Chain A
Amino acid sequence: MEDAQIVGLYWARDERAIDESSGKYGAYCGSIAYNILADRQETEECVNDTWLGAWNSMPPHRPVLLAAFLGRITRNLAFNLYKKLHREKRGGSNIDLVLDELADCVSGGDDPANVINTGDLTGDIDLFLSSLPETKQRMFILRYWYADSIGDIAERLGLSENNVSVTLNRVRKQLRDYLTDRGYDL
């Protein structure tokens, strides 16, 4: 079924919306949740909660790219669950490595004076990503949006794992410089 039709079902409060979403995007959302949670049961719960989240947000939303819309709900739910469950037990999963890498870009400080309007920050990151060549942009998003493993990214982009690691390292430094230049106190 087409995205617009699935969105139509949500708007019509028709429960087939959930079956259709699950059939078409279950695996996609599942891969995002699993990258963050590394646990099958938690992933399943998280994906089920995604359809509920979608049900509650359509209407009022009428997404054009349904995959991104659903993936974003999953990513948000999974990360919240991760923060709740994994505060103590650390190590091993993709997300821990991903977050450690992102630590390169930030100070890790918690100074309320440094609280940043994340709307602007997102916009500036978007501009930064637009300025990257296509492969680097995809690599960055696969790693820091989807939390895909370095191995998966290397395979998807037809590059060596080493190449991916080194490139990501450079892009993170570029991002940090870019944001610092724009006055962010990270």
Chain B
Amino acid sequence: MKKEELFEALQNIDDEKVISARDGKVKKKPIWIRWAALAACAALVIGTFAGVRFFKGRAGIGPETYPGGIVAVTAQYPAPTAVNLTPQKFMESDEHWEWFQAHREETAAASLLRGGMTQYYSDLMQLMLVSEDENTVCSPLNVYIAFAMLAEVTDGDSRQQILDMLGAPDIASLRKDVKALWEGNYADTPMLKSILANSIWLRDGVEYNTDTMSRLASQYYASSFSGVPGSEAMDEALRSWTDRNTNGLLTEYVKDMKLDPSTVMSIVSTIYYKAQWVNKFPENSTTQETFHGTLSDTAVDMMHMTSMMRVYNADQFTAVELGLTDSGSMFFYLPKDGVDVNALAEDPEVLTAADPEMNGNSWSFPLVNLSLPKFSVSEKSDLLETIKKLGITDVLDPGLSDFSPLTDDFDELYLSTANHAAMVEIDENGVTAAAYTELALTEGAALPEDEIDLVFDRPFMFVVTGQDGSVLFSGIVRNIAE
């Protein structure tokens, strides 16, 4: 072999090695502060605070305050990146490059999980997005994380049913997956907000399993709050924490949140997401046009863009992909003539189209005259019926449930509340979205009868993915208010 041939053989070595050789920066990974002995910690500070103030390193939010009587132990999230830069300046700065490099490693780890989660995504979307005249929206990732926490406080068949729903082979791999998903999807930069948070709400005087509590704090970054469920102070703290971590986008639902006095533990998981289109819609091109909803025709703000775009052609729909800066993409699915939009919620090809690894031959790159209405959809759903259909039964039954990893203080505990609220809004600049999932465990013998029918419907469907391919939000828009 000749030396020239060796020089040429080097041509195609790995891109990242080539870049990092010249770039030469030491990758900075976000610092995740892990804690231990959370319950013990909480016990120590009981009674020493009249009102508790905690500082969390988040941009522009200021100190967090909770009413007296609540003991809060706040999880430490990574500090935001480049707080003082505008999005434009940030994109041009070295800080962006460093962040991007570190973030890409984490999303790569998380994207390996995608295969295992497809069945869960598809089952959940089928149950949560099908409907008649209502708009439907949910955050599959958010529900996943909340139920993973529920799996931690259960054992036996109760836990197995949750693992089965989430598509996790065992609790150890679920823990690993959640950590990778969390770190792969957590971003707080001037350009992208994808902020996840977890909390647990505990009752004063109950003896909780210390190992389980520390695991929720360390593996799930859960802040913990103890107080008297049913008290105004505790409800106020619950609403304030949830409102804050969904950036006030779900206030219409959050204002009704409260804990029943019989609550032994409540899990609340949140996501706040804000990303910009890679290619923004020109604002002066937006026109008033008619949207033919299932209920009536309405006048809406229709955004327009003409560009080469990735278009996916399936039997039941045509989909277009719009990239989101530093994140994943938002996919819009228009049903073909004669296809009901509900059919899309059940079509596995919807997720195939949204999977960055499975591009196949169905994608083309034509010039597209895109007209897309601005919209804001939100929904609160009761998850109890949905999870029953996904095989979760034991935690709903005080006689069958096994909450031994949580506490030994009660014989009969059951999951009495499972609420999910989500909203997604798009405009010329990008996407804003938020969601929370609330799972409350109460003592007692009666199963709640209030089960909401979760079947909905409308003219197009959407899916928002993170950089790792996780389904952050999905929904179907059938009607848009004027």
Are A and B genuine complex partners? yes
| Contact indicator A11/B13 (Cβ below 8 Å) | no
A75/B11 in contact, CB under 8 A: yes
Q: Is A126 an interface residue (CB 8 A)?
A: yes
Interface code A62-93, partner B: CB below 8 Å = 1, 0 otherwise?
01110111011001100100010000000000
- The answer to whether A83 and B4 touch across the interface, beta carbons within 8 angstroms, is yes
B378-392 with Cβ < 8 A to chain A: none
Return the contact of B7 from the options A130, A141, A144 (Cβ within 8 A). A144
Chain B residues with CB under 8 A of A98: 7
Partner of B1, one of A12, A71, A130, A186: A186
**Chain B proximity of A156: nearest CB distance (Å):** 6
- Contact across chains for A142 and B22 when beta carbons are under 8 A apart: yes
Alpha-carbon distance A69/B21, docked complex (angstroms) = 15
The chain B residue sitting closest to A111, CB to CB, is B1
User: Which of B17, B19, B308 has most A Cβ within 10 Å?
Assistant: B17
| Contact status A4-B323, CB under 8 Å | yes
Q: How far is the CB of B25 from chain A (nearest CB, A)?
A: 11
Q: Is the CB of A122 within 8 A of B7?
A: no
Given A69-B15, A106-B3, A110-B2, verify A141-B21 contact (CB < 8 Å). yes
Convert A102-115 into 0s and 1s, putting 1 for each residue whose CB lies closer than 8 angstroms to a CB of B: 11011111100010
| Count of inter-chain pairs, beta carbons less than 8 A | 113
Interface size on A, residues (CB 8 A): 53
Structural contact, B21 and A108, CB atoms closer than 8 A: no
Whether a CB of chain A sits under 8 angstroms from the CB of B325 is yes
A58 to B444, CA, bound (A): 64
Within 8 A of A (CB), among B1-59: 1-22, 24
- CA–CA, A141 and B2, complex, Å: 19
Interface residues of B in 309-354 (CB under 8 A from A): 323, 325
Question: Which of B8, B18, B21 has its CB near the most chain A CB atoms (within 10 A)?
Answer: B21
A65 touches B16 (CB 8 A): yes
Cα separation A100 to B279 with both chains bound (whole Å): 48
Q: Nearest chain B CB to A122's CB is how many angstroms away? A: 5
Q: Interface SS of chain A: helix, strand, loop or mixed? A: helix
| A125-143 interface with B by 8 A CB criterion | 125-126, 129-130, 137-138, 141-142
Within 8 A of B (CB), among A16-66: 28, 59, 63-65
Of B6, B10, B15, B20, which is within 8 A of A106 by CB? B6
Decide if A145 touches B278 in the complex (CB within 8 Å).
Answer: no
How far does the alpha carbon of A110 sit from the alpha carbon of B4 in the complex, in Å?
11
Kindly list chain B residues whose C-beta atoms are within 8 Å of the C-beta of A102.
3, 6-7
Residues of B within 8 A of A126 (CB): 13-14, 17
Is B15 a contact of A125 with CB atoms below 8 Å?
no
**Residues on the B chain within 8 Å of A146, using CB:** 21-22
Q: Check B7–A142 contact: CB distance below 8 A.
A: no
Complexed CA–CA distance, A68 and B308 (Å): 24
B410 interface hit (Cβ, 8 Å)? no
Q: Are B1 and A114 in contact (CB under 8 A)?
A: yes
> Which A residues are CB-close (under 8 A) to B20?
138
A141 and B1 contact, Cβ closer than 8 Å, known pairs A5-B278, A11-B308: no
A129 B17 Cβ-Cβ under 8 A = yes
B8 to chain A, nearest CB (A): 7
A71–B16 Cα gap in the complex (Å)?
Answer: 12
- Give min CB distance, A145 to chain B, whole Å: 6
A2 at the interface (CB under 8 A from B): yes
- Contact yes or no, A122 B11, CB < 8 A: yes
Q: Which residues of chain B come closer than 8 Å to A159, judged between CB atoms?
A: none
A186 to B1, CA, bound (A): 5
Q: 7 closest A-B pairs (Cβ-Cβ)?
A: A141-B21, A68-B15, A102-B3, A103-B3, A12-B308, A65-B15, A138-B21
28 interchain pairs (CB within 8 A)? A8-B279, A11-B308, A12-B307, A12-B308, A59-B365, A68-B16, A68-B18, A69-B15, A72-B11, A72-B12, A79-B4, A99-B7, A100-B3, A102-B6, A103-B3, A105-B3, A105-B6, A106-B1, A108-B1, A114-B1, A125-B9, A126-B13, A129-B13, A130-B14, A137-B17, A145-B18, A156-B22, A186-B1
> Which A positions have Cβ atoms within 8 angstroms of B?
2, 4-5, 8, 11-13, 28, 59, 63-65, 67-69, 71-72, 75-76, 79, 83, 98-100, 102-103, 105-110, 114, 116, 118, 121-122, 125-126, 129-130, 137-138, 141-142, 144-146, 156-157, 184-186
